[in-house]
Structures are given as C-alpha cells and as structure tokens.
Chain A
Amino acid sequence: MLKRLVFLLLILPMACVDPYEVEVPEGEQLLTVEGIISTGPGPHAITLSRSATYGSIFEGLIRPVTLATVVVRDNEGNITFLTEGVDNLKGSYFTPANFRAQVGKSYALQIRTAEGKVYTSTPERVAAVPAIQSLNIRTVTVPTEGSAVPKSGIQLLVELRDPADENNFYYWRNGPAVYILETRPDLYTPRPTPQNPDKRPQPKDCCVQCFRYEASNNQSLFVVNDDNFNGLSTRIPASFIADDGIRFVNKFRMDLKQYSISLGAYRFLRMVKQQAEISGSIFDPPPANLRGNMISLDNPDEVVLGYFMAGGETTRRIYVDKNDLTFKQNRAIIPDDCRVISGAFIDPPADWKP
C-alpha cells in the first residue's frame, strides 16, 4: 500500500500519452517513389503511389499509380524498361529477372505517368558492398507497459569488414523467411452448427508440422554509416524479428540482404528512420522535410516524395533454432491442421538445410 502511495506521488506516472484530435491540413496527392535496384539477382521493384491526407480514412490503403512508363537509365545510356505487376502488384514495376546493376555505374529512374507527366531521379552511383562475415542473433526484450510479459524478438547482428578507403553507407532489408509451423490438430473444435452441434474437440489426424513462408517485413529501418568503424571489423544490429509466439517454436530461416547505398539515400533513410521512431518525447527532433531525389521535369516546384536507390547487394542466410533464444513468448496454440494456415506447406523448401 505504501508503495502504491509512493508510486502515486512519483513524477514519472504523471506524464501520459493519449490520443488526441487535431485538424491536419488537407493533403496533396503527391507522387511517391520507393525502390532499390541492386547488384543482386532480379527482378528489382520500384513502387509508385500517391500520398493522402494524414490521418485520413484511406489510411493503410495503398493508392498505386498504375499504367506509368518506368525506365532505368545508366550512365552509358542503356535503358531498361520496367513492367508493371498485375493484381495486387499494380503500381509496382519490375526489372527483367536477369537485370543486375553494376558496381561503379550510375543509374537514374525516369517515369512518365498515364497523365503524361514526366519525372526523373538524380543519378545514383552503385558502390561495392563487403560480404557479411557472419550473422548472429541476440534476444531482445522490450518492457511493455500494462503487461507482465515484455515484448520480445531477435536482433540479427551482422559482422562485416568495412573497407578503409571510402565512406560507406549500409542498409539492411529482411528477405523472405520460412519457418516450421507447429499446430495442434488434436484440439480442432469447429464452430457448433445445427448439423454438428458438438462443442468438444474433434481431432484431425494431420498435420502438426508445416513450413510456412513469410513475406519480408521491413518496418524497422536499419541503416548506418561507417564513421564509427571505418576500416574495422564490426558487429552491427541489422534486423529485428518480433517473436509472435509462432515463429520461433522450432526453426526459423531468413535471408538478410545487405546493401551499400549512396550518401543521399543514407540521409533520406536516416530521416525516415528518425521520423518513424518519433515518440513525442522531449528529445524528439523537430519534424524534418523529407526531400528525396526525384524531380518533376514539367514543374520544378512539384514535390515528389520518396527515394530511388541503387546499390551493391549481398545476402546471407541464417537458421534460428528455438534454443538460440534466451527469452521466448508463450507459444501460441493454433487448434487446426497446419496446412490450412496461409502460406504453409507440408514439404520443406528444396534448399532447407538447417
């Protein structure tokens, strides 16, 4: 009781964060460009969309810009046409599968929209990227307010040998992941219906273990410059994968992509990261105008959002065993055949070699 009183009188709980209604200016529908072309295997994707009013009800809805002509032009004048995807890939434009950017060359992105407006990026030079020497994991926990169990996940630590002679900028993206999904078909309990009013579990015979494929998630940005380790071997956090109680129950595999990017791209991503991590604290930097590298050729005053990147790419694969984690979330129970879960298959991938 005394502690509760002390708690009340403490200064920390007096601060609070709560939702707040504000009127934001009517948003412009600005062209937004996102994508990277790299020395890695293709196809590489460039995504075009339009911005919306902040806080609008269209939130989450991606508003793709379709039917545009998108080309990548290198400094020798070679032009590569990108083709638009279909269905839910509309608004994304892909290079041919055999296209690879070359170290030392510069590339510019050129866009002509269906309305006939023309945009171009400033040239991006492709720098070589050192290989990932090793990839290790570290369990991280995040104390969470109002919850006895902290959130947790794994952090991938990249070990790399930075070349001493130049200024390097690194950017990491999670590639596709596969993990062993374990479910409990023995607990299968369908919703009672007039035909089948039984409320008890009706165990299925199969299957407990599947391999589930996951699209890459890159919400946390990992980007760094070599100011602090130029010419050194260093270990850097390069990825975070949240523990959702499902991923790490047996084995998990992911490909981590490491890119070398330009100073401009680094600055842009750093500002994106800065903004994505804003918490409203007293140490937050003031909002910055995210200026990208795209320009409108029709109207120089038109704002184009986003950044077209070009860089060297290297990939390294890691298998994570459940015992590698020092802290795990409670295992989630899925009372069904694992094959009914989206993206799950009974056969392992051909290259599954844990």
Chain B
Amino acid sequence: MKKIFLFIFLFFGLTAVWSQTPAVKREVVGRDIGQLKGIKISGRITDEITAEALVGATVRIPELNLTRITDANGSFEFEVSRAEYTLEFRYVGYTTKIYPITAVGEGRLTIRMLQEDFTLDDVIIYGSDPEKNIRSTNMGAVTLSVNTMRELPPFMGEIDIVRSLATLPGVSQVGEASSGLNVRGGGVDQNLIQFAGAPIYNPSHMFGLFTAFNADMVNDVTLYKAVVPSRFGGRSSAILDIIPKAGSVDKWGGDLMASNFSGKLSLNGPLIKDKVSIIGGFRISYINWLLQSLSNTTLNNSKANFYDGNLVISAPLTENNEFTYSYYTSYDDFAFASDTTISWQNNAHSLQWKSKLSEKLKMETLGFYSLYEYGIFNQSGLNNFEINSDIKDMGGKTFLNYTLSPTQSFTFGAEYKQVAIQPGELVPTGTSEDVLPKKVQNEAGREMAAHFQHELEIGEKIGLSYGLRYDLYQYLGARTVRTYQEGTPVSDGSAIGETNYGEKELIQTYDGLAPRASFRYSFSKASSVKLGYNKMYQFIHLISNTATIAPSDVWKLSDGFLKPQIADQFSLGYYNNFKGNIFETSVEVYYKDLQNVVEYKDGANLILQNHIETELIPAKGQSYGLELYVKKNLGILTGWISYTYSRSLRRVITPFEEENINNGTWYASNFDKPHDLTLIGNYKVSTNTSISATFAYSTGRPVTFPEAKFDFSGNNLAYFKDRNQQRLPDFHRLDFSVNFKLKGEGKFFDGDWTFSVLNVYGRKNPFSIFFDDAPQQPPQAFRLALLGIPLPSLSYAISF
C-alpha cells in the first residue's frame, strides 16, 4: 500500500499537454531502491471525460514486445526490468498515447485517454470492443455510430445515415436519388427499417436526395445483412435498426445547425433531474423559400418542402426498469413545374420498457404504431382530384434474455403486428362533377412470430449462435377476391367469379420456420472464420414501376395470388485485425436464393388497381457476391476501403409463354451492379481541422435499350425486346469535405464549420438514359444526370 501512495497519479493533468506536444518528458516511475528485475508496473486506463474504465485497451512496450489488454476494470499489469521504456496506450476511437518512462521501482499509473473525435462528443465512436468484429459470433451485423458517419463527407451539409451505410461492402443504392438500400442483391422493400422499434416505410426526403432521419437524433444504426438474430423478421434481405439518442438527465443543452439547404435545432435535458430526460429535434428545409424567390418560371412553379421531427422521453424509473417513448415524424411535398403535388408523411410512435428482472434475466417489451401516408394532388383546374394512400402498422414485441453463464445466453420472445393498407382512394376535388371517386379495396393482415436464440461459446475458440423463428401470417377481409379461369394468364378477361369476405374474415394463411445459425472459429484474438445460414419470410411487397420509393408505388400484402417472399442465405467470412486492432479486415462470400419476388407485366398499370394480381408475375431471384473490407480505425488518417463483386439475378418462368420475361432465362435485376468500390479517408490536419473524402465506383446499372424503332401515329417508337440487357455507363464520384472547429469566445462562436463539395470533378453520372425523337431533330439518346455539377454546401453547427 505504501508504495502505491508513493506514486500518486504522476500523469494527472498531463494528458492535454501530450496530445499537442509530441516531445514528452520522460518520467521516472517507482522509488529507486536499487531493484533491477521483476519491477511490477500496474495501472488503470479511464476516459478523460467520463472517468469510465476503458475495457480492452492495449498497453504495449515495444522494447520488450509485450502487450497487455486491460481487464473489466480497465486495469493492466506487467513485470519489467529496470530500464527505459516507451509505453503505448491504444484504444479504438481514442487518441493513442506514447509515454516514455524510466522504470526504477514498482508503481501504479493512472492513464486518462481522450476520445479521438475532437468534437468531444459524449458518444462512443466505434463501440467499446475493438475486437467485436472478430469475437462476435453473429455475422454481418454492422453498427455505425453517428460519430463514424460524421467522418464521411456530408451530403448537402448533412450527415446521411442511408448514404453512409451504402459505403459498406454489400450495400448499394440504385442511383443518386434513390430511397433505401439494396443489401446483397435485394430490393429496397426487402429491408425492415425501424426507428426505435417502429417500422418506417419511406426513409427519404425529396426522393432520396436526403435521408429522412436527423442525425442529431440518432445514436447509432445497426444493419444486419447476413445472419439476422431470430428476434427480427418480416423482411427478406436485411434489418436496419436505428436507435435514437436519449437526452441528458443532468443538464440542458442542444445543437443548432444551419446549412444552405436546411436548418435544424435540437434540445435535450432533464424533465426531472437524474430521473427523466427529454430530447426533441426539428429539421426543416428552406429550398421552397429559395425557389419562390427566383424569377425563373419553371423553378417558380416548383416547390419542395420537407421537415422531420423527433421526441424521445427516457425515464429510468427504478434502477431496473427503464421506459422510453419515441415519436418520429417526417413530411415531404414536391411539385416540379406542374399542378401536381406529390407528398408523403411518416409518423411513428413507440414505447419501450426495458427491465432487469434479475442479474441474469432481462426483458424488453415494445409497443409501436406507425402511419405512412402518401398522396398525389392534381390542382390543374380541370378534373381536380387527389389520390390518397396509407399504411398503418400496430403491434408489440417482447423478449427475454437469460444469461446462464458468461459464455451462454438464451433469448426468446414473441411478436404481433397488424397491418392495414389503404392502397389508394381517388377523391374529386373540383367544383364540377366530372371525375368519379374511386377507392381501391383496403387490405388487412396480421403477422405473428415466436422466436428463440441460443448463443454459446465453447472454449476460447468456438462460438455458436443458433435460433429459430416461426412466422405466421394471415390475410384478412373485408375483401372481394376474384377467381380466375385455370389454364389462362391471370387478367381482367380471365376472371370468372368473385368471393366476398367479411370484416376480419380469414382469406389466406402462410406460415414457415425460419432457422438462423452462425458458427465462429477463432484462430487467435485477432483472427476468426465464420459461417452462417439465414432464412427469412416477407409478407409485404413494394410494387414499383420506378427505381425509387415514390408515392406512385403500391405496397401490397401477400394474398392468395402473391405468395410471401422467402430468402435463404449462406455466408462465409474470414476476419483479421492487425497491429492491435488498428486495421480491421474481412473477406465475406454469400449466396442468396429468393422466391416469389414480384415482377410486373409489360406496361403494368399499378395505380388504383383493385385486382393488382393481373399486373404482376412472380419471379425467382438469386444473388451471390464477394465482399472485401479493410478499415483503419486509429491514427491521423482513418477510413476504409470496401469492394464488392456481386450479381443479383431474376428469372420469370410461367406456364404461359407470353408472360415469360426474356424467354425464361436469368437476367440482371434493376440493381445488379457487379463491381462496387468505395474508398473513404479522413485526415486530421490538426486538432481542430479535418478533411475527408469519399470515392465511389460501381458498374452502371442494367437498362433496356430499344431493339428497333417504328412509326406509329406520327411517333417514332422504340421496340424493346428483352429486359435489362444493356448497362448505363459506370458510376464514379468523388466527394470532399473540410471540417473546421472554431474555438471562439462565447457559445455562438464555438462551433463547427463544414464545407463540402459533392461530385468534385463534376461527373455526369447518368441516372437514366432515354431515347427521344423530337421533331426536327436527329434521334438521340439522352442522359439524365441528377448531380451533374460539383455541388458545394456550407454548414455551421453549434452545441450548447
């Protein structure tokens, strides 16, 4: 004990000096009593700000090639001989400390490490476990914290959650204005996007130019793309789980940001000190205001509004029980030089109860209600109308997690959800009665699930996680269901009868077992191999004729004609970390088989269709790929390289030859982009300035070019034969941003300037190529580039 007192926190307070001056004075450790060997040096590493122990940090003595990892207390210990050493302290997301010492006797060090992120946010950057990618048995779960996303060049001054995820291997987007993500060859509707546990149907503003989630309100985002834990289901490709931030229980504060496109404000603080916290945020665009101030008539007749808002109330009522209420809303309306306005709105409420029933048994229960409404409004003065649609989701889920031992845990639970879709109602809004109101039949369904998961570790090397989910789905009335003549394609002409089902009457049931399993073998602490299998069912389909999630799309529940989508996925991966987790690398391969994917018939009419089965055909799908990933976690230069080679294919074979697509052969899906490369770098120039850049390259997406042209009614028309046989030119784009932290006097001047340029070299990446034969002009292919010029943006953000 005495000895410890002799060495009282030698390094207290020196950290700030070290982080800025590389020449650190060599410190003498220990009382010199002439000891030569077996000098015990121990210590504890904590966070400079929160004083929390840093578990799993590395302490290294390069002279002896000795490395220690801190234990659950953040403590470490080693024995050295009397000599001079250079201690290195590393922890993911923290500034590395180099600390020269002369060891002369036993001593204890207190090391306080500062988070690398110079904004000093209270969010942990990369998660607390630097070897999580190696040790976790679950495959293909990627968590991005908002702080990681901050290092990417912002999109129009904003951190974009969806776009950030698209930089990861195996995740892509169709084009520059596309809502949602394509995960491992799946469609955008095959991802379950949930905000605080409530499903969100349209995650975008302005058709995907912005993500509809305010990053100031988000703590982190987890994407499950390979093996999904059995407590998730209902979509066949991936789960995107967005966890909102909680407010401070301690003091009031907030964030304010203004960019040249939008502004946002958030406030958070204690409603009841140390008990109940609240956080609220609002973001609004002023693009509309800018449009109105222009003299150009096209732009003047255009409008584009959006906003989103969040409210989260967290109440840790007792030590073991915590309630969280979250409300999320987003709104958009859009008109481009026309009388037709398109609008959509998301609303989601959820209430979560987390309870620690005992040391080993934990429970989480969640109830949610979400409403997605969208509409098209025609105010041309002639036949004015509006078409409204909405989707209501309501349900609850609960699960228990029992920790049998540090190496074994069980999770089991159940879920119930009811979905009601109003696919479209046309309401005349004009004065004269010249349009008939029309309402497409409502749809209703129920999804139920029970699940179980067992995770265990066998020794140091082997990890196993397996689970089973039982999905039960019921399609309910009231509804009029047609019967079609057998042996002919389903069409308006082949309908031979109708059956009327009453309210809540069962029309169709589907069920299935969805096993999930993954296995890990660790070669060492820094390398492992994992194997996974995953099956998922999906009972709701996005029927879309366009490449983006738009209000003209139809969400459709599985019924007697449209069977649930089923995905089977096999994956294999090798993971290796180098240099004390500074470098993370992985190689993954996967194969995915999809059944009952929806394809549309030629010239399908999707809007206001009472019997949409006449416009659709089921397809088979398969996708496979190889994903490479190298990430540098620490240092002045951080970032990652991800490369994916993948294919996503579809095939349509029906009993009727005329309905087959491309003669029943496999063809590329709309988002098949074989090569996909992303390079991301973030360079810290100084403590208050950083620059970052993103380069993305991918093969152009498949398109259909005309085989021939012919003349009809004075129009030169194109004859298209097979779908998706050609490709757009390759996509590549460089984005760049500079972040500068102003350290001025007073709150307002203590903020962050971010200047960014999207598409630095002005590449005109085509969103589409189309053919037009304008009169008096030679026939020509045209390219639509949504982002054809370098696009600068500037934003200023302050925290208070």
Contact = CB atoms under 8 A, between A and B. Distances in A.
18 contacts: A7-B294, A11-B791, A12-B291, A12-B304, A13-B789, A15-B786, A15-B787, A22-B769, A53-B709, A55-B781, A138-B382, A235-B383, A272-B717, A281-B784, A282-B550, A285-B545, A287-B706, A287-B718
Contacts of B297: 143, 150
Given A145-B298, A230-B436, A280 B720 contact: no
A19 interface: yes
Contacts of B383: 234-236
B783 interface: yes
Interface in B759-798: 764, 766-773, 775, 778-789, 791-793
Contacts of A34: 711-713
B597 to A, nearest CB: 15
Given A19-B783, A289-B721, A59 B299 contact: no
A16 B785 contact: yes
Residue of B287, B704, B768 with most chain A CB atoms under a 10 A cut-off: B768
A289 B602 contact: yes
Interface string B484-504: 000000001100000000000
A20 B772 CA distance: 11
B490 to A, nearest CB: 15
B556 interface: no
Contact of A217 (B156, B658, B714): B714
> Is chain A's binding surface mostly helix, strand, loop or mixed?
loop
B478 interface: no
Interface string A270-307: 11101110111111111111110000000000010111
A47 to B, nearest CB: 8
Nearest to B550: A283
A315 B606 CA distance: 33
B433 A32 contact: no
A218 B713 contact: yes
A236 B783 CA distance: 33
Interface in A1-60: 3, 6-7, 9-22, 24-25, 27-30, 32, 34, 49, 51-56, 59-60
A75 interface: no
Contacts of B706: 24, 27, 54, 287
A19 B294 contact: no
Contact of B713 (A221, A271, A287): A221
A28 B706 CA distance: 11
Nearest to A26: B707
A228 interface: yes
A143 B298 contact: yes
Contact of A54 (B260, B298, B708): B708
B195 interface: no
Contacts of A143: 297-298, 301, 337
A81 interface: no
B708 A291 contact: no
A289 B782 contact: no
A289 B720 contact: yes
Contacts of B709: 27, 51-56, 59
A352 interface: no
Interface string B294-323: 111111011010000000000000000000
A51 B453 CA distance: 61
Given A218-B714, A229-B434, A282-B548, A19 B782 contact: yes
A18 B764 CA distance: 9
B792 A282 contact: no
B155 to A, nearest CB: 11
A145 B605 CA distance: 31
Contacts of A272: 712-713, 715, 717
B438 A267 contact: no
A274 B552 CA distance: 15
A221 B156 CA distance: 40
Interface in A141-176: 143, 145, 150, 157
Contacts of B713: 34, 218-219, 221, 272
Contacts of B712: 32, 34, 272, 305-307
B719 A290 contact: yes
A18 B434 contact: no
B710 interface: yes
Contacts of A286: 545, 670, 704, 723
A16 B434 contact: no
Contact of B552 (A3, A22, A236, A283): A283
A145 B705 CA distance: 27
A133 interface: no
Nearest 6 A/B pairs, CB to CB: A280-B770, A20-B783, A27-B708, A51-B708, A288-B603, A280-B784
A334 interface: no
Contact of A10 (B291, B295, B426): B291
Contacts of B431: none
B207 A282 contact: yes
Contacts of B726: 22, 25
Contacts of A20: 766, 769, 780-783
Given A27-B708, A157-B382, A232-B436, A51 B719 contact: yes
Nearest to B767: A282
A237 interface: yes
Given A32-B711, A219-B713, A232 B433 contact: yes
B339 to A, nearest CB: 11
Contact of A32 (B545, B710, B779): B710
A128 interface: no
B20 interface: no
A116 B178 CA distance: 51
B708 to A, nearest CB: 4
Nearest to B208: A282
Nearest to B209: A11
Contacts of A53: 708-709
Contact of A55 (B291, B436, B779, B786): B779
B707 A279 contact: no
A62 interface: yes
A59 B709 CA distance: 9
Contacts of A55: 709, 771, 779-781
A270 B603 contact: yes
A54 B779 contact: yes
Nearest to B722: A289
A134 interface: no
Contacts of B382: 138, 157, 235, 237
A234 B207 contact: no
Contacts of A22: 705, 726, 769, 781
B788 A16 contact: yes
Nearest to A138: B382
A333 B297 CA distance: 27
Contacts of B665: none
B710 A51 contact: yes
A296 to B, nearest CB: 15
Nearest to B600: A286
A233 interface: yes
B434 A25 contact: no
Contacts of A30: 708, 710, 719
A307 to B, nearest CB: 8
Nearest to B704: A287
Contacts of A6: 290, 293-294
Interface string B537-564: 0000000011110101000000000000
A115 interface: no
Interface in B419-449: 426, 432-436, 438
A20 B304 CA distance: 29
Nearest to A34: B712
B231 to A, nearest CB: 36
A228 B711 CA distance: 30
A173 B438 CA distance: 28
Given A219-B775, A228-B435, A10 B287 contact: yes
Contacts of A278: 770-772
Given A11-B209, A59-B773, A229-B435, A276 B711 contact: no
A296 B784 CA distance: 38
